[in-house]
Amino acid sequence: MPRVVLGRLLTLVLSLAGASVLIFLVVQALPGDLAQVMLGERATPAQIEALRERLGLNRPWVVRYLDWVGDMVRGDLGTSALSGLRVTDLVAGPIRVTGWLVLWSTLGSILVALPLGMWSALRRRHWDGFAVNALSQFGMAVPAFLAGILLVLVVAVRWGWLPANGYVPLARDPGEWARHLVLPVVSLVLVQGALLVRYVRSAFVEVLTEDHITTARSVGWTKLAALWRHGMRQAGLSLVTVLGLQVASLFVGAIVVENVFVLPGLGSMVLRAVVQRDFIVVQSVVMLLVVAVLVVNTVVDLLQAVLDPRIRAKEQR
Amino acid sequence: MSALLEVRDLSVRFGRHRTLAVDRVSLTLDEGDRLGLVGESGSGKSVTALAVLGLLPETATVTGSVRWQGREILGLPDRELAKLRGQEFSMVFQEPMTALDPLMKAGRQVAEVLGLHRGMARGASRPLVLEMLAAVGLADPVRIADSYPHQLSGGQRQRVLMAMALVNRPDLVVCDEPTTALDVTVQARVLATLDERLDDAGAACLFISHDLAVVSQVCARVAVLRHGRLVEQGTTAQVLGAPQRPYTRGLVAVASLEHAEPGSRLPLVDDFARDGGAS
């Protein structure tokens, strides 16, 4: 097991290094010049050149890359050229908004999908199991932003039960905080949960037809007990992978939903920074998202090694 | 006194179209009896066995009667049947590669069966588990008990499955082609062990196989199935030595190829049972 952990951590570090180069190069390739944006339309070439020099934009890209990475390793995400604020301070608020959104949506989809998916697998030859399956197909086809807009129209505008948009920090008013998060979370859960139902269903259908479940029943477990004792871990093995991918796609989905509900999250922050050509902000925030996704993937890999002795055995060789 | 297991007019149909897989099969087993169930693949041998234990998928419709020590068990709820399975009767399966839980150590899978029926804690059952693993012919029970299935050979896994089926000393063990997936030398040794353990426990056995040689080694009586119907039944010597039905004659002929003449066409079952269905 220690070797597995070491291997996965090494992979994580390498992926992070690769991702940082890629992000840096893509941001460099974006059209537009920060100095131009800062000084406006009527700036002279000499003024722009002087500002470029002062911002360090004229140094070779390798130097600027190493500079950026070195700062990040020390916990410094850089300073926004436009506002003069440190990026670490800038992201402090938005990271909480996006974090809550992803956390609650993940928990919500698991809570919805696990029982529904199991039900639909166990009752797959009956009308109710079939109905769950058909509904999840429908849920998957609806984009999160459309679900969000519809929810706002009905629940917020027509019925006026919940706020249509905006955000209140948890520390200021927990009640309002929760009320503002309900609709964004629900619209993400509708889509992610529907997708997850299908994965849960197929994972359990597969487990149910395994020979060793029949063996377990032949020695005296009831059908449900056999599934619980000998099927859960196996189903969990494939579901953990899917969940990891879902958390990753939730970060992307959250950006869209943040826009619909006007939430001050990381998504809206990146969009604003791109428009303003505030490259260091774009670079660092995108890097933060990538770190989150890669860490989740590493955790998934490690969980699988914990759950499955065959994976551990393969690593030992 | 009633028989240990009495199957009357057992029929099994599958799915919407009600395909008949087993057609009015009747069998009787007394205590310590060994009955071989032979036939080609698809003749309904396994389905018959699974129907007796109540392990068929819910797409199957089972009719007839299955009496266990005089008590009707067909149509009993899963919870009631589960109490009998593993305790009074059990099953050894065909595929040792997939029949064990890949994520659980072998010893724990055997211990579970003890815990399930005797309420024995895992620590307390350990000596019994090791004893059982040794009894089914595993040379290094401690190592086997602490191995995951993927670390064991096919023969070892089959023996672990046997240990699971036998550990509670059931009165009947159903063996569904228990040696088919093993190579010939391993097969002979596993069969010998099975033979010993059944003798020891005085357990009855319903032994399913397409291999007449294996059946004649283990069983005193043989029943021949074809297209889900019982074709012939009797002592092993009678049925295999002097088969009455053309189909059984065909089965025996294709199994004993030492009588075939070199260069000539090998015999087919159909040479003997040309009529297709009712033989």
Chain A residue closest in CA terms to B58 = A125
Strand partners, B36: B207, B222
Quick one: DSSP state of residue A79? Answer: B
Would the CB atoms of B148 and A225 count as touching at under 8 Å? no
CA distance A230 to chain B (A): 7
Q: Residue A82 and residue A48: Cα distance in Å, rounded?
A: 14
Residue B92 has pLDDT above 80, yes or no: yes
Q: Is A306 on the interface with B (CB under 8 A)?
A: no
Q: Is B112 on the interface with A (CB under 8 A)?
A: yes
Mean pLDDT of B223-234: 91
Q: What angle do CA B117, B123, B127 make, to 5 degrees?
A: 80
DSSP string, chain B: ---SEEEEEEEEEETTTTEEEEEEEEEEE-TT-EEEEE-STTSSHHHHHHHHHT-S-TTEEEEEEEEETTEE-TT--HHHHHHHBTTTEEEE-S-TTTSS-TTS-HHHHHHHHHHHHH---HHHHHHHHHHHHHHTT-S-HHHHHTS-GGGS-HHHHHHHHHHHHHTT--SEEEEESTTTTS-HHHHHHHHHHHHHHHHHHT-EEEEEES-HHHHHHH-SEEEEEETTEEEEEEEHIIIIIS--SHHHHHHHHHH-GGGSPTTSPPP-HHHH-TTSS--
Q: Residue A133 and residue B258: Cα distance in Å, rounded?
A: 57
Burial class (CB in 10 A: 0-12, 13-18, 19+), B120: middle
**Contact residues on chain B for A212, CB-CB shorter than 8 A:** 98-102
Q: Is A229 on the interface with B (CB under 8 A)?
A: yes
Nearest-CB residue to A211 (from B90, B98, B151) = B98
Would the CB atoms of A220 and B113 count as touching at under 8 Å? yes
Residue A136: its pLDDT value, please?
A: 87
Sorting pLDDT into bands at 50, 70 and 90, what band is B275? low
Q: Is B86 on the interface with A (CB under 8 A)?
A: yes
Q: Is A215 on the interface with B (CB under 8 A)?
A: yes
Would the CB atoms of B150 and A310 count as touching at under 8 Å? yes
Q: Is A222 on the interface with B (CB under 8 A)?
A: yes
Q: Rounded mean pLDDT of chain B?
A: 87
Nearest-CB residue to A211 (from B84, B99, B117) = B99
Q: Is A225 on the interface with B (CB under 8 A)?
A: yes
Chain B residue closest in CA terms to A233 = B103
Query: pLDDT tens for residues A185-239?
Result: 998 998 889 999 999 999 999 998 889 999 999 999 998 889 888 988 888 888 9
Extract the tokens encoding A107. Answer: 């928990």
Q: Rounded mean pLDDT of chain A?
A: 87
Q: How big is the A-B interface in CB pairs under 8 Å?
A: 79
Q: Residue B30 and residue B3: Cα distance in Å, rounded?
A: 5
Mean pLDDT of B24-31: 92
Residue B277 has pLDDT above 50, yes or no: no
Q: Residue B19 and residue B15: Cα distance in Å, rounded?
A: 7
- Closest of A159, A43, A183 to residue A105, by C-alpha: A183
Q: At what angle do helices A61-73 and A279-307 cross, to 10 degrees?
A: 60
Q: Residue A58 and residue B35: Cα distance in Å, rounded?
A: 90
DSSP string, B102-135: TTS-HHHHHHHHHHHHH---HHHHHHHHHHHHHH
Nearest-CB residue to B99 (from A215, A234, A310) = A215
| Higher-scoring residue by pLDDT: B259, A93 | A93
**Contact residues on chain A for B165, CB-CB shorter than 8 A:** 218-219
The interface predicted TM-score (ipTM) is 0.86
Tell me the C-alpha to C-alpha distance, in Å, between residue B255 and each of A301, B147, B233, B247, B267: 51, 38, 18, 12, 9
Mean pLDDT of A83-97: 88
Quick check: helix, strand or coil at residue B74?
Answer: coil
The tally of CA atoms less than 13 A away on the side-chain side of residue A277 is 14
Extract the tokens encoding A276. Answer: 């303003």
| Long-range CB contacts (within 8 A, 24+) of B233-238 | B233/B27, B236/B36
Q: Model-level pTM? A: 0.78
Residue B15: φ, ψ to 5°: 70, -170
Q: Residue A74 and residue A80: Cα distance in Å, rounded?
A: 17
Residue B129 has pLDDT above 80, yes or no: yes
Cβ atoms within 10 Å, residue A71: 16
Mean pLDDT of A98-122: 91
Q: Is A314 on the interface with B (CB under 8 A)?
A: no
Task: Say if residues A272 and A259 touch (Cβ distance below 8 Å).
Answer: no
Nearest-CB residue to A220 (from B87, B99, B102) = B87
Query: pLDDT tens for residues B28-52?
Result: 999 989 999 998 888 889 999 999 9
**Contact residues on chain B for A229, CB-CB shorter than 8 A:** 112
Sorting pLDDT into bands at 50, 70 and 90, what band is B278? very low
